[in-house]
């Protein structure tokens, strides 16, 4: 911060901005508040997603634990029909 003249007490903030001391303080405080809120909301959403993922994992574990793992067997009868054509095709070179 630089004093331009001692009579007007004009203050200049960095980065070529003019505006005085109090508007500069308000700008810095606003920037800090915005950064703090951004960190808090990102942490909130990260915690929410972690809680949802943990709940889904516990639910899947409990769902898989409740049923015994038994193979599914299908009983069926089948009939093989042999027309003899395959034997005739093999014997002729």
How far is residue 64's CA from residue 60's CA, in Å, rounded to a whole number?
A: 6
Please give the model's pTM, rounded to 2 decimal places.
0.44
Q: pLDDT truncated to tens, each residue of the chain (93 aa)? A: 455 555 555 555 455 556 677 888 888 999 999 999 999 999 999 999 999 999 999 998 888 776 666 777 888 888 888 776 666 566 655
Residue 9 has what pLDDT? 52
Residue 92 has what pLDDT? 55
Helices and strands in the chain: count of H runs, count of E runs: 2, 2
């Amino acid at each position: 911060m630089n004093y331009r003249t001692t009579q007007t007490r004009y203050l200049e903030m960095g980065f070529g901005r003019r505006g005085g001391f109090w508007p500069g303080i308000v700008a810095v405080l606003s920037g800090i508040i915005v950064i703090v809120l951004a960190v808090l909301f990102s942490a909130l959403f990260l915690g929410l997603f972690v809680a949802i993922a943990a709940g889904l994992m516990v639910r899947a574990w409990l769902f898989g634990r409740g049923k015994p793992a038994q193979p599914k067997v299908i009983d069926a009868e089948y009939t093989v029909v042999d027309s003899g054509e395959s034997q005739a095709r093999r014997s002729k070179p």
